[in-house]
Each structure stands twice: as C-alpha cells, then as structure tokens.
Chain A
Amino acid sequence: MAFDITINGKAQKVEARPDTPLLWVLRDHMQLTGTKFGCGIAQCGACTVHLDGKPVRSCVLPLRAIAGKEVVTIEGLQSKEGRAIQAAWEELSVAQCGYCQSGQIMAAAALLADIQEPSDNDIDAAMSGNICRCCTYQRVRHGIKSASKKMNSKVAKSDASIEGAQVV
C-alpha cells in the first residue's frame, strides 16, 4: 500500500505494509538511519522522532497512523532548539557510544521547544524514557541546561539590541 507522509519537510510516497513501524519505514525504505532501533516496544527511546512537533517512539508507530502527518528525524532537525542542543552536545562531549543520542537529542529538542527553562524535574520527566547504557545522563542534563541558557541569553540579547535601537 502507498502512504503519503512528510519527512523532514519533503512530501514522500511510501510503499509498505500498513503495520510497518515508522522506524523501519525511515531506516529501510527512506534510508534514514540516524534513528535507531533499541527495543521495539517504546521502552528505550532510541527511535525518538518528532511527529507534528511532538516526540514519539517511532518503533511502535504504524505507518497507517501517520499518513498526512509531518515527521522530523535527526537528519532533518533544523529548529533553533535542535541546533542549540546539538551544539551543547558537541561542546560537552555528551556522547559515548552514541547509539542512543539521536533519540536523546530529539527528546531534548522537543523538551526545550515546550519548556524554555526546564527544571531538573522537567528534565527527569521528559528524558527518563530515553535509556543510555553508557549512562551519559549527567551530561545530557547539563547539555539541556546549557542549550537553554544559551538560547535564552540570545533571546535576551536580541531584545536588548532592539531596545538599544529604539533609544537611538
């Protein structure tokens, strides 16, 4: 069967069984392998992508349920939150083996889009579905806070410069 979905901003026609999980549509049909397989039962978060802007576990999301929706994967992560998270990840050397990190980054970017300055409790709630067996959790937490701080200070700065312009 053919389904219409939008992946990373591009309208795509996918020919696959309707029960095919989005994860395998991405990996085997679209050759987008940045999204990873870890458990297949929505317990580890390695397969996290954005569906209409919200983080979802693509390993349990059948193709038939996402027709007409917008999917963003790690390959297409362009949002300012996403870029800030990726920059923080590089700066803090968050990744160890790296296998879960696409999922961590997608979950973290969605958290920042939702809450500009997440508290530790917000981070626990949003990120506890993403397992990292290398246990990079401490740096994931710092990475989210660092990205949040940088984004907010940028917002503050651009506000300040607008004010400055008005004074002149």
Chain B
Amino acid sequence: MQVLRALKLYKSDLSRRDFIKKTVKLGAGLTLAVSLPSAPEALLNPAFLGVSSAENPINAFVSIGLDNSVKVIIKHIDFGQGTFTGLATILAEEMDAAWDQIVCEFAPSDKTRYANLLSGAQMTGGSTAIANSYIQMREAGASARQMLIDAAAAKWDVPREQIIVKQGILSHSNGLNATFGELSQLAAMQPLPEKVSLKDSGNFSLIGKAGLSRKDLGKSDGTAIFTQDFKMDGLMTAVVAHPPRFGATVASFDTKRALGLPGVIEVVEIPSGVAVLADTFWSAIGGRDALDIDWDTSSAMEDGSVELMRRYKEAARGDGAIAKKIGDNLRGFAEADIIVEAEYEFPFLAHASMEPMNCVARLSSEGIEMWYGCQGPTMDQYAVASALDIQPDKVKINTLFAGGSFGRRANKDSDFAVEAALIAKTVKSDSPIKLVWTREDDMRSGYFRPMYFHKMRAGLNAQGKIVAWEHKIIGQSITSGTAFEAKAIKNGVDRSSVEGALELPYDFENVSVQLKTMEAQVPVLWWRSVGSSHTAHAVETFMDQLSHAAGLDPLQFRLMHLGDDQRFAGVLDLVADKADWNNDRSGGRIKGIAVHKSFGTYVAQVADMEETKAGKYCVKKVVCAVDCGLVINPDIVKAQMEGGIGFGLSPTLMSAVTIEKGRVVETNFDSHRVLRMKDMPNIETHIVSSSEPPTGVGEPATPVISPAVANALFAKTQVVQSRLPLNLDV
C-alpha cells in the first residue's frame, strides 16, 4: 500500500523530544542553537492564505504586517481546545509582542515546516499541541525578536544590547523608538539567528496569565468559517448514499429519477457509494432520496453488538497476549486473604461532533486543493495522493475551523477526505465540490471507539494491600492493518487498546495485563482519550470495589497503594481537600473519587451525586484537580476540564452505539442520546502549580469522570455496575 510505505518515512524526532524535556526542566533563561524553518513559499505568495503584500514573513511561524499586526502561524488545528490562543501566547511571550496585535492563521500543509515534533507528521492529536510546540514556539518568538533588534540596531546605528523590546515596541535610551510594524520589512531581511536566548520563566508576562482575550474569533457572531460555510464560485454540493450495512457495496443503481429533479447536476459511483451532485444541499438530498440502489450484501456484516460481546466474553476465558507482567500473580493470589473479581462491558461510542464530516475539493492539472477541518494534513495528503495516484505534494490542504472532532477527523483511512477527492475526480464537471454528510451519514460511518470487555481479578492480604492484579482486555484493535500498526503494535499488543491499564498510579507487587485482539467488521478509531476511555474506568472502579472489600476509605486505599510518582498524590490531595472528601456528606450527597494519568497529565475528580427521588440519582457537582505541568493559559485548562468531563459524562450516563446485523441503530440525536444542559453538573477545577514541562489538556479529563460517578453510586448502593452507560435509576 502506497500510504503505508509513505507513512513509514515519518521520522519521530526522539532526540529532539529528549532535548525538549531537558530544556524545559532547566526552567531558567538559556541560549539555544536553533534551526528554525524559514517562511514557506505559501506565506511569501500574497495570494495565499490571505497574506497581504504588506506582510513581512519573519520565519515559518510569524509574519509582521506594516499595520503592526503580528500574524502567528498555527500548525495545529483548533477545534475548540484553544491552540490558536495557546500557541500564540507562547510565541508572543518570547517576542515581547503586545497581545492585542496578535492574529492567528492555520499553517499550510507542509510537514517539512509544520510537523508535530512528537510524531514527525503534521497532525494534531494525543493532546500534544502545546507539549510539542512549547520550545519551538518560544524559539520562533525569540528569533523574531532578535531579528527586530538586529533591524533596529542597523537602522539606528546603535549597539543591539542597548535596545529594549516591550509590548511590541523597540526603544533606545537616546529616545528612538519604533513599532514591530515599522521595522518589519527590515527585520524580514535579517538572517535567521543561529542562536536565541529564551526568557527565564520568572519573567513571563503572558504565559500563565489569566484573562487573555481568545484568538479563535468569530464564534460569537457567526462569522467563523467552517467547511460548511466555505464559498467558492461554481461549488457543487455532493451528498453520498452509503451502504446501509458495514461491508455492503453498490450492486447496481438507477439514476433516472434523481437526474430528473431540478438542481441535480450529476450522479456518480465512487468506492464508498453513490454521490449526487447538485446546486444546493436540499436538491442533492432530494436527488439522493430518489436514487434506486441495489446493495450487494454478500460480504456485509451479519452480526452485531450482542453477538460480538458474547464472543468477547468467551475469549476472555483464555489467555491473551502479555501486555505487562510484574512479579508472580500465582504466588500473589495464593497469599491473598480475599480475592475480588469484576467484569466490565463497554459499548461502541460515536464521536458525534456537532459538525458532521465534510470537505471541499478542487481538482486541477496542478493536483488537488482541499479546504476542511483537517486534523492530520500529512496523513490525509498521502491517502488522497494514493487514491488519486498523484504525488503527496500535489495535495494542498487548507485547514479551516472544525466543529469538533474528538478523534474523528484524524482518520486512519482519511475516509471523508478521500471520498471528497474521489468525487472531484469522478465528476465530469470541472467544478469544485463540497461533500456534505448528514448526521445519519456521520453516525452510520462507524469509526467508533471499539467495544471492549474487561475481566479483572485481584487479591488483598490481611492488611488490605493488593498482592495480585490481573487485568484482561478484549476488543478490536484500532491500529491493526493501518500505517500506524508498526509503531503501535508490539508482540501482539496494540498499545492503544491497553494504555491506561499499564502505567498504573499504583505500585503492585504482582501484575498481569493481557490483551486479546478480536476481529470485527466495524470500523474503529481513537476517541477522546483513546485507551484510557475504558481502561481508566475498569481500573478505578475496581479499586473502589477492592477498597470496599478491604474496609478502607477509597482515598486512603489509593494513597496507600501509590508508587513513587508524587504527582498522583498531588492531584488526589488537592481534589480531596477542595471537595471536602473527608467530611462533607451532608444533604444526602454521595461522593466518588477517581484518578488517572493520560498524555502526561494527571487528573483526579470527585463526583458529587444526589438522590433526587428514592433510587434515582443525578450528578450535581464535579471537583477536578489537574496537574499538566507549566500552565500556558489557566482559563483554557479549566475550559478543557469542564468540556472533557461533560464529554465523558455522555457515555457514563446515556450514550452508546449499538450494531444489529451490521447496521448502526442510533443514527441521530433522537436515539443517540448525549449530555444536554439539564444534565450538566457544576464543575470546579483546581490546577496544581508546577514548573514541569507543559502537557496536554484536551483529553485527560474525559476518562476520569465515569469511574468517579460509578464509585459514588457504588458507595451508596454497593451494587457493582458492570456495564456502561450506568443505570442511575437503581
């Protein structure tokens, strides 16, 4: 497969990652040798990306306008997690720019300049946007600052050491001063510095500051442009009739009725179904409804969730591939006073972002140009190039704001981007196309968080200490058969299936974690927090069952089992203190606690529940403590904790995708229930002060809430719920 070969060319920059870690640990101001990429041609071309001829590109990440605006080029998509603001803050800090002069723009697709330094590809994911950019954006800002100083020194004929930069203005004690804008042309002509000095963190004025105005503008007045809103002359709207079952294909179809409808321009067959092109969405939908398609279901999925879960449970009886082994569980169980067992069933989950998938594509003799909420430009470039049989550099992707993703847009098959490209290629017309999926298309497409079955067994000694820990995970692999397989699967273990079950906060003497990977025809994908979305629930609810069996308080039980990493204790202590864990159970309040680390960030939560009627419960409040290292923007950290908890509450309380005979049952928000205003608890977030390197906040709040809620319910009812979503009517 061409994509696979091409993706293998990615180099993960490990030496650089180590370097970043070391550098950030130092904390103090230091001088670094840098090799920052220069501004790309795209930025130098005024017609591209809205760059006006009055702008002066300084390096790949910043361009200064004659109007004194400082344009920060953002290499990570912003679909709500705040990368525009976060990355711009870091750059502006080192540049000594005034916050008001900062504007942001998405980077063009160009992995030589804009690769995620942790993966080698240009992509957003794994809560890495800040973590991998922290030093790079500081270097870019410091380098730009230095070039401005060089420009001023040359213009004023003064030693560069005597020039002061503050709030976007350079000045000299002899009374000379100039704005960034005034010096921008001269600055752009300076050579890129080979060394830059970074600030001491004690001198930060933007990083860590509360109340900076956000830079992802246009979201309160309808002016932000999402893919759906992108306009272009001659743009045709495309909708696709997809197979009703996984594995089905088009056998034959009749277009006569559809083509007879006003507004319908063309009907074409593509590998993923039949596409109808029309002047408007409503005409296209009318055309699609009028299609007469025979589906070939000979290879279609025959079974569904129930049958799969039955197979998973059977598989759990045997051994799986060893994901982790410490000590000797046989001995541990032999020494145990009490043995506790548990089983957990996790359903398929849909990302169900508010904006269903869509994509604008224009084919030309030059290649293809695309506009959409793109999460992985490099992988999409390779996949589209492979589908069109052209070179990846002929695929030009322009990233737009996206209406959520939660993992969906970083599609391992680049499904909707490839679909759009193939429609553009197949149509007779030269016109650009806008592929629009309906909610039902989006829900039926699959790419769900896999369904899993977990089987757990642990032994407690007379002192209430865990002396044996056995954890079996059964489910589909996300990365098997994809370009990510080589990196993710080792010795039959897909890391993404077991992450969160391996690096436990707890120091157990004897541990066995096993994985049994199952085959099924359901397309599966990472979903906000990936493996942790199920492993954290299993581990943390099992801890409460064990603490109950040991007759110990769940918080104390956790603290007595913690390993050397003090940051777990840090978030547990903070959350316990703020939630008044040890005292307040007044007013019928029921509390549950959970802690988990994902993507380098530590989160502990206390869910506070109320019995609204006899046997009926609701989540009233969640107290959350987070340690994400150095905080770039405290308000965004809080927003991500609030949003991450809300997102995790949907599958805790109500969301699940069921498959019957290869067909998705819940296809819209009437049957696929998600959290609404009335269900949202009050969330209180507390941040651990830290000078550790910054880690991500987009995902780590999500996996902690379901065990916190389940533990609160368990504390009250002593009934172990083995299935998600939980039943709150017990």
Contact = CB atoms under 8 A, between A and B. Distances in A.
Do most interface residues of chain A lie in helix, strand or loop, or is the interface mixed? loop
B487 interface: no
B228 A36 contact: yes
Nearest to B358: A37
Given A74-B222, A131-B674, A133-B354, A95 B216 contact: yes
Interface in A1-36: 16-17, 20-21, 24, 27-29, 31, 33-36
A29 B353 CA distance: 26
B253 interface: no
Interface string B606-650: 000000000000000000000000000001100100110111010
- Of the candidates B354, B635, B649, B678, the one having the most CB atoms from chain A within 10 angstroms of its own CB is B354
Given A31-B231, A33-B229, A41-B668, A97 B282 contact: no
Contacts of A136: 639, 642-643
B404 interface: yes
A80 B81 CA distance: 30
Given A20-B282, A74-B222, A99-B403, A135 B642 contact: yes
A98 to B, nearest CB: 3
- Of the candidates A34, A94, A131, the one having the most CB atoms from chain B within 10 angstroms of its own CB is A131
B400 to A, nearest CB: 11
Contact of A135 (B81, B223, B402, B645): B645
A146 to B, nearest CB: 13
B282 A24 contact: yes
A75 to B, nearest CB: 6
Contacts of B155: none
Interface residues of B, number: 60
Given A38-B354, A127-B677, A27 B281 contact: yes
B186 interface: no
B506 interface: no
Q: In the complex, which range does the number of interface residues on chain A fall in? A: 35 or more
Interface in B284-299: 286
A44 interface: yes
Interface in A115-137: 123-125, 127-137
A99 B231 contact: no
B676 A131 contact: yes
A158 interface: no
Contacts of B226: 36, 99
B220 A95 contact: yes
Given A20-B282, A39-B439, A131-B676, A96 B81 contact: yes
Interface string B229-245: 10100000100000000
Interface in A83-118: 86, 89-90, 93-102, 105
Contacts of A77: 221
A153 interface: no
A138 interface: yes
5 contacts: A38-B356, A43-B668, A94-B220, A130-B677, A140-B677
Interface of B: 79-82, 213-214, 216, 218-226, 228-229, 231, 237, 262, 279-282, 286, 352-356, 401-406, 436, 438-439, 635-636, 639, 642-643, 645-647, 649, 668-670, 674-678, 680, 682-683
| Smallest CB-CB A-B distances: 8 pairs | A34-B222, A135-B646, A99-B403, A96-B80, A98-B219, A97-B80, A74-B222, A33-B229
